Amino acid sequence: MNTRTPIVILNFKTYLESTGEQALKLAKISEKVAEETGVNIAVAVQHADIFRISAEVEIPVLAQHIDAVDAGGHTGSVLLESVKEAGASGTLINHSEMRMKLADIQEMVKKTADNGMGSVVCTNNVETSAAAATLKPNFVAIEPPELIGSGIPVSKAEPEIVEGTVDIIHDISPEVTVLCGAGISTGEDMQAALDLGTEGVLLASGIILADDPKKALLDLVGNI
């Protein structure tokens, strides 16, 4: 996974606007914006779309979740080896919509590293972020769940959480990259997040549901 910063990770979630053909279209738009601006953009897509999208774009493609299971009798679970072979170069871990136990987070950070994949651990407060930093993932994305999809960026609503998270994580693990999530949708939001010490953003609906996703992405990264 390309971890160059600043980085934008676009989480497709399960919106119809980012499913199947629409997902491929959005991934190609993301790739085009990355080429035009030089900003590192990655997409976290639904599992059924990983193979198709990873075959048609050069930007990093992430899974939205991987279960802490080994190969065997785990019907319905998402196996790391499966998404890696499908073309995923990393995964989100512990998103607010798919919470995991600490032991499982630890296992998945280790397994992704062992398999040459990137890890993006999502957290909801300073304390959880500090715990995640001890595991040494590639990224920690701070996302207060009450702000997700609200249109209110965490960089403005709760800047002390962002600043405190950056300081604590870098004290624990200087090599971990801190991202800002929840409510991010504009270039002003992203610049505010970068000014608070983060090195990128994790976002979804502000781009996915925009009338013109390419224009929204360009607005997000155009002045970085």
Write out the two tokens for 195.
């000014």
Active site residue 188: no
Does the structure show a pLDDT above 90 at 137?
yes
At 188-209, the pLDDT tens digits run 888 888 888 899 999 998 899 9
Q: What percent of the chain has pLDDT over 70?
A: 93
Q: Is residue 2 part of a domain?
A: no
Q: Is residue 25 part of a domain?
A: yes
Selecting among 65, 107, 143, 199, the annotated active-site residue is: 143
Q: How many structural domains does the chain have?
A: 1
Selecting among 95, 107, 158, 199, the annotated active-site residue is: 95
Active site residue 56: no
Task: Give the distance from CA 72 to its chain's centroid.
Answer: 28
> Which pLDDT belongs to residue 223?
73
Q: Is residue 1 part of a domain?
A: no
* Stretch 79-89: mean pLDDT: 98
Write out the two tokens for 101.
């136990």
* Stretch 13-32: mean pLDDT: 98
The rounded mean pLDDT for the chain is 91
The CATH number assigned to the domain holding 65 equals 3.20.20.70
Q: Cβ distance 100 to 12 under 8 Å?
A: no
Q: Is residue 100 part of a domain?
A: yes
State which residues form the domain around 83.
Answer: 7-221
At 144-185, the pLDDT tens digits run 766 555 566 666 666 777 788 889 999 999 999 999 877 777
Q: Cβ distance 83 to 22 under 8 Å?
A: no
**pTM of the predicted model, to two decimals?**
0.93
Residues 6+ apart with CB under 8 A from 222: 37, 187
- Worst-scoring range by mean pLDDT, 10-19, 118-127, 176-185? 176-185
